[in-house]
Homo-oligomer: A and B are copies of this chain.
Amino acid sequence: MIRYHNAQIMPMQNGTEIIRGELWTEGDSIVYVGETPAELPAFTRETDCRGHLLMPSFKNAHTHSAMTFLRSFAEDVPLQTWLFEKVFPYEDRLTPDDVYAFDRLAMLEYLAGGTTAVFDMYFFPEASAQAFIEAGMRLVFCGSIGGTAKDVERLNDQFQTCRSMHPRISYRLGFHAEYTSDESLHREVARLAQAEHEPVYTHISETKLEHDECIARHGASPAQYLDSVGIWEYGGGGFHAVWFDEKDRQLFADKGLWFVTCPCSNAKLASGIAPLRECIAQGVPLAVGTDGAASNNALDMFREMYLATVLQKLRTNDAAAIPAADMLTAATVGSARAMGLTDCDMLAAGKQADFILIDTDAANLLPGHHIPESLVLSGDRMNVEMTVCAGEILYDHGSYPTLNAEAVLADCAARIARLTG
Query: Interface of A with B (CB < 8 Å)?
Result: 68-69, 71-73, 75-79, 82, 105-106, 108-109, 112, 264, 267-270, 272-273, 293, 296-300, 303, 306-307, 310-311, 313-314, 316-324, 361, 363-364, 366-370, 373-374, 377-378, 380-382, 405, 409, 412-413, 416, 420
Q: Is the CB of B71 within 8 A of A319?
A: no
Q: Which residue among A82, A267, A374 has the maximum number of chain B CB atoms within 10 Å of its CB?
A: A267
Question: Of all chain B residues, which has the CB nearest A413?
Answer: B367
Also in contact, A267 and B314, with CB within 8 A (given A300-B364, A367-B69): yes
Q: Is the CB of A267 within 8 A of B310?
A: yes
Q: Which residue among A323, A409, A420 has the maximum number of chain B CB atoms within 10 Å of its CB?
A: A409
CB-defined A-B contacts under 8 Å, sample of 13 = A73-B367, A75-B323, A76-B319, A78-B319, A268-B377, A270-B313, A270-B316, A298-B377, A303-B306, A307-B310, A363-B409, A367-B413, A380-B382
Q: Across the interface, which residues of B come within 8 angstroms of A73, CB to CB?
A: 367, 369-370
Q: Across the interface, which residues of B come within 8 angstroms of A364, CB to CB?
A: 109, 298-300
Q: Across the interface, which residues of B come within 8 angstroms of A267, CB to CB?
A: 310-311, 313-314
Q: Across the interface, which residues of B come within 8 angstroms of A298, CB to CB?
A: 364, 377-378, 380
Q: Which residue among A273, A320, A361, A366 has the maximum number of chain B CB atoms within 10 Å of its CB?
A: A366
Complex: how many Å from CA A366 to CA B381?
16
Q: Across the interface, which residues of B come within 8 angstroms of A300, CB to CB?
A: 364, 378, 380
Q: Is the CB of B378 within 8 A of A293?
A: yes
Given contacts A267-B313, A270-B318, A381-B382, 15 further A-B contacts (CB under 8 A): A72-B367, A72-B369, A72-B378, A75-B323, A77-B319, A82-B319, A109-B363, A264-B310, A268-B310, A270-B319, A293-B378, A296-B378, A303-B303, A367-B416, A380-B381
Q: Across the interface, which residues of B come within 8 angstroms of A416, CB to CB?
A: 367
Q: Which of B68, B72, B112, B313 contacts A269 (CB 8 A)?
A: B313
Complex: how many Å from CA A323 to CA B76?
6
Question: In angstroms, how far is the closest chain B Cβ from the Cβ of A375?
Answer: 9
Q: Is the CB of B363 within 8 A of A320?
A: no
Question: Of all chain B residues, which has the CB nearest A208?
Answer: B317
Complex: how many Å from CA A368 to CA B361?
32
Q: Is the CB of B370 within 8 A of A108?
A: no
Also in contact, A79 and B319, with CB within 8 A (given A310-B268, A313-B268): yes
Q: Across the interface, which residues of B come within 8 angstroms of A317, CB to CB?
A: 270
Complex: how many Å from CA A79 to CA B273?
22
Q: Which residue among A296, A323, A368, A378 has the maximum number of chain B CB atoms within 10 Å of its CB?
A: A378
Also in contact, A270 and B105, with CB within 8 A (given A72-B373, A75-B377, A380-B381): no
Q: Which residue among A77, A316, A367, A382 has the maximum number of chain B CB atoms within 10 Å of its CB?
A: A367
Question: In angstroms, how far is the closest chain B Cβ from the Cβ of A24?
Answer: 29
Question: In angstroms, how far is the closest chain B Cβ from the Cβ of A415?
Answer: 9
Q: Which of B76, B314, B320, B361 contacts A324 (CB 8 A)?
A: B76
